[in-house]
């Protein structure tokens, strides 16, 4: 029920209410009898003892006294009225007669002096009555309309505020080119129709979370300047059967009325999963909604001018009927950005932030391998928050380094104190990773080592590939496994015992080794794919899943994985045994400094020690106010928190 229909249905009730209220408020006016007397007649009736009540009211505007009252023998609704000129003699006469005949006498104030107040009271009373009736009727009608509103589409129409264009989408050059022709079609469909070309009815954006799928869809709508409906896949499905299908129909009905337009369905896998899966199966609410969506996209009816863009990070669970030509004709892979793309994304999110001159977005992009667009935005935002907390005016590399570690591993647990033995164990463990990364030519480059606890890790070693590649050789994978095993080997060589610190290393190493055997064909079992990474999430499939290899082959797979791990473990043992001095040097330096950067590690390897820090005399005037307050706190200067910079300098000099 829309608002216009609601108003029309309430008008008769309001008219009836106004009539009844008027009758109640003014009925006594229509049912009253007033006898008009002269002044002389009134005096005569008083002298005859007929008058029981008299009320006199001055009217200064008309220069008269209005006298009203009741005589003996009058009915309950009957009164008399007398108008006489304003005169003190009239009041004196009536008072003297009242003393003689003892009738009820009353004087009133001029009603004109409070007429406005009277009008306000009357209007306010009527307004309260009308407002109460409106509230009750609207509430009942609203409840009725909501109860009948299940089948309405939950798609939201973009109002054009916060418009997004391709300039706001960085790092997706090829993806923008893929969807650019959608914009051309929406702007000038005739050019395509002349050639007999059919524009794709649907475009599916596929990629990991945070890569910018929703942002790209918003940019298409912003560039095309057409109505843009957006909805989540979960908003279709309800408890009641048939509601989702009804919402799909209503959504397309609205879109047809505003064609050409765009419909964006986020997380379409919530409603577009394959039918007939799971233990129960059957035609449940979700399947009916999917069936209606399939029909609307390419059924008997035509949806000219409507383009659907959907996003998901699980294309493997979508129904095949949804992906066929005529529905989602095109799939656009929105992958993680490369170094150049990351730099472009950082430039977009750096707008409005103040950076120190030493900050290089190119270097940040190089170090943030594997970061999505959302991760990069979070990185700069965390750096900005840290800058504010540290009372700095610009973002420096110190804040960006800390923010980078926070995004990867979580905040540093500075309050967690190591025992000396634990600190030594972690230092040698991380040094083992670092030495293998330094000595193996195909291993990842060591960027940073720290033994400060973060998240679930007691320390971590940030190692990145020398260059970003789409493929990896067998030797590169083996050296990566060797680097992962370096921590355990270092513990064994140094302390003669092992700890639980290598659990995550083993998990990653085993995963790589298994993929080499079962997916990449890098073992004696030959170029055969025994397993794939397209794992299904449907219980029915898992329950009825059959192995595509025998138990004998499974045994051989386990043997090959063991062979790869043992080979890499032996190689790591040889490298660390022959480079014990370097491992000890890095470990002892870590124990002292807790964190080493790539530049410090390179200098340490070349020179055997870190460069001596030059002691520079810094004047108090060169320090920030936060540094001055820290010094004042150490010297226990009272009231330092409220002092200005000049006052702090004077106190510290004293």
Q: Hey, which residues are catalytic here?
A: 430
* Tokens 């972690």 belong to residue: 426
Report whether 517 contacts 560 (CB < 8 A). Answer: yes
Annotate 459-497 with three-state secondary structure: CEEEEECCCCCCCCCHHHHHHHHHHHHHHHHHHHHHHCC
* Tokens 């992906």 belong to residue: 323
SS3 content of the chain, % helix, strand, coil (to 5): 55, 15, 35
Report whether 363 contacts 369 (CB < 8 A). Answer: no
- Taking the CB of residue 36, how many other CB atoms lie within 10 A of it? 9
Q: Which residues pair with 57 in a beta bridge?
A: 66
Whether the ω angle into residue 58 lies within 30 degrees of 0, i.e. cis, is no
Cα separation of 32 and 439, whole Å? 114
- Tokens at residue 371, please? 């970061």
Burial pattern 446-455, b for ≥16 Cβ within 10 A else e, equals bbbbbbbbbe
Q: Is the sign of the CA dihedral 414, 420, 422, 428 positive or negative?
A: positive
- Beta strands 330-333 and 202-206, pairing class: parallel
> How far is the CA of 176 from the CAs of 188, 260, 334, in angstroms?
18, 20, 10
* Tokens 């230092």 belong to residue: 427
Question: What is the DSSP secondary-structure string of 174-218?
Answer: HHHHHHHHHHHHHH-HHHHHHTT----SEEEEE--TTSSHHHHHH
Coil, helix or strand for 328? Answer: coil
- Tokens at residue 620, please? 């108090």
Rounded to 5°, the CA angle 586-590-591 comes to 120
Report whether 502 contacts 429 (CB < 8 A). Answer: yes
Cα separation of 494 and 478, whole Å? 24
Question: What is the DSSP secondary-structure string of 508-536?
Answer: HHHHHHHHHHHTS--STT-S-----S---
DSSP category for residue 636: T
Q: Which residues pair with 460 in a beta bridge?
A: 450
Cα separation of 297 and 341, whole Å? 34
Cα separation of 373 and 366, whole Å? 14
Spatial CB neighbours of 536, under 8 Å, sequence gap ≥ 6: 316, 317, 542, 545
Give the alpha-carbon dihedral of 132, 137, 142, 145, to 10 degrees: 180
List the end-to-end C-alpha distance of the chain, in Å, as a whole number: 79
Nearest to 331 by CA among 322, 340, 339: 322
Q: Is the sign of the CA dihedral 323, 327, 329, 330 positive or negative?
A: negative
* Tokens 């475009």 belong to residue: 203
Rounded to 5°, the CA angle 621-625-629 comes to 110
């Amino acid at each position: 029920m829309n608002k216009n229909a609601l108003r029309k249905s309430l008008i008769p009730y309001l008219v009836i209410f106004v009539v009844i209220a008027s009758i109640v408020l003014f009925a006594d006016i229509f049912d009253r009898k007033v006898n008009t007397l002269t002044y002389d007649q009134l005096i005569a009736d008083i002298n005859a003892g007929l008058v029981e009540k008299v009320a006199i009211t001055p009217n200064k505007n008309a220069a008269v006294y209005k006298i009203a009252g009741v005589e003996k023998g009058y009915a309950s609704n009957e009164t008399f009225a007398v108008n006489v000129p304003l005169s003190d003699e009239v009041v004196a006469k009536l008072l003297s007669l009242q003393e003689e005949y003892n009738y009820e006498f009353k004087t009133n104030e001029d009603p004109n002096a409070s007429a406005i107040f009277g009008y306000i009271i009357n209007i306010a009373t009527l307004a309260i009555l009308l407002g109460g009736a409106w509230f009750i009727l609207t509430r009942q009608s609203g409840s009725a309309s909501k109860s009948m509103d299940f089948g309405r589409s939950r798609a939201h129409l973009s109002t054009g505020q916060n418009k997004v264009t391709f300039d706001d989408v960085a790092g997706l050059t090829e993806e923008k080119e893929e969807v650019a022709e959608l914009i051309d079609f929406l702007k000038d469909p005739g050019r395509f129709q002349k050639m007999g070309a059919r524009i794709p009815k649907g475009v599916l954006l596929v990629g990991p979370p945070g890569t910018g799928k929703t942002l790209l869809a918003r940019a298409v709508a912003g560039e095309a300047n057409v109505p843009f409906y957006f909805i989540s896949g979960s908003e279709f499905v309800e408890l009641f059967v048939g509601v989702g299908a009804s919402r799909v129909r209503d959504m397309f009905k609205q879109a047809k009325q505003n064609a050409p337009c765009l419909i964006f369905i986020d997380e379409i896998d919530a409603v577009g999963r394959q039918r007939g899966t799971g233990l129960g199966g059957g035609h449940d609410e979700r399947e009916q909604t999917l069936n209606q969506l399939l029909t609307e996209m390419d059924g008997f009816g035509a949806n000219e001018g409507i383009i659907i863009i959907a996003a998901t990070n699980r294309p493997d669970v979508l129904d095949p009927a949804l992906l066929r030509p005529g529905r989602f004709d095109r799939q656009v892979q929105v992958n993680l950005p490369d170094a150049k793309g990351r730099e472009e994304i950082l430039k977009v999110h750096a707008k409005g932030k103040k950076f120190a001159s030493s900050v290089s977005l190119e270097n940040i992009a190089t170090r943030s391998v594997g970061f999505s667009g959302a991760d990069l935005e979070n990185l700069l935002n965390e750096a900005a928050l840290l800058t504010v907390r540290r009372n700095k005016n610009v973002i420096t590399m110190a804040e960006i380094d800390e923010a980078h570690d926070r995004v990867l591993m979580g905040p540093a647990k500075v309050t967690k104190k190591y025992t000396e033995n634990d600190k030594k164990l972690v230092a040698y463990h991380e040094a083992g990773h670092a030495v293998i990364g330094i000595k193996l030519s195909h291993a990842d480059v060591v960027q940073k080592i720290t033994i400060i606890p973060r998240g679930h890790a007691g320390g971590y070693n940030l190692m990145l590939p020398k260059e970003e590649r789409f493929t990896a050789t067998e030797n590169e994978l083996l050296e990566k496994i060797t680097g992962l095993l370096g921590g355990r080997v270092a513990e064994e060589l140094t302390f003669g015992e092992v700890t639980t610190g290598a659990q995550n290393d083993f998990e990653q190493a085993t995963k790589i080794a298994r993929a080499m055997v079962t997916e990449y064909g890098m073992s004696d079992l030959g170029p055969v794919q025994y397993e794939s990474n397209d794992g299904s999430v449907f219980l029915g499939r898992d329950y009825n899943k059959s192995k595509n290899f025998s138990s004998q082959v499974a045994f051989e797979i386990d043997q090959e994985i063991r062979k790869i791990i043992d080979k890499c473990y032996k190689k790591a043992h040889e490298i660390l045994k022959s480079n014990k001095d370097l491992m000890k040097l890095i470990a002892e330096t870590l124990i002292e400094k807790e964190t080493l950067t790539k530049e410090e590690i390179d200098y340490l390897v070349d020179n055997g020690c870190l460069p001596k820090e030059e002691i520079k005399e810094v004047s108090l005037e060169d320090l920030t106010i936060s540094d001055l307050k820290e010094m004042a706190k150490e010297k226990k200067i009272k009231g330092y928190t409220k002092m200005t910079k000049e006052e702090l300098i004077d106190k510290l000099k004293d």
